[in-house]
Amino acid sequence: MTLLNETLAIGTTSVSDNVNLKQHLNTPSEAGQTLRGSVEKALHNYFAHLEGADVTDVYNLVLSEVEAPLLETVMTYVKGNQTKASELLGLNRGTLRKKLKQYDLL
């Protein structure tokens, strides 16, 4: 049983579960890149191609680029069950619904 399956089965996560998930996310993928490394590479590429243009709100730009596929993937994983998704993500169910609407996923 995977960490995510175990978490869904018991409905809670412990500090060690979160550490294991963080380690998994920071383990290089088949392409040899961690999630963190992918974000860093994308940001370096973004800044390199600005050509002097002013930029603001980078935080929200990055957050929306990561949050939308995160929510979509989690909702697929839990087969649309918002209660399981909110538990898996550590979000209040109302907050999850708001975010799903924000990204037109609901």
Q: What is the pLDDT along the chain (106 residues), one digit of tens a residue?
A: 444 444 444 444 444 555 555 565 656 666 678 888 999 999 999 999 998 889 899 999 999 999 999 999 999 999 999 999 999 999 999 999 999 999 999 9
| Residue among 2, 1, 7 at smallest CA distance from 24 | 2
Q: How far apart are CA 75 and CA 31, in angstroms?
A: 25
Which pLDDT belongs to residue 33?
81
Q: How many residues does the chain have?
A: 106
Helices (H), the chain: 3-10, 15-25, 35-48, 58-77, 82-89, 93-102
- At 51 the three-state DSSP class reads coil
Which pLDDT belongs to residue 10?
40
Which pLDDT belongs to residue 17?
53
Which pLDDT belongs to residue 30?
61
* 36: exposed, middle or buried (Cβ count in 10 Å: 0-12, 13-18, 19+): exposed
Q: How far apart are CA 39 and CA 45, in angstroms?
A: 10
Which pLDDT belongs to residue 81?
98
Which pLDDT belongs to residue 27?
62
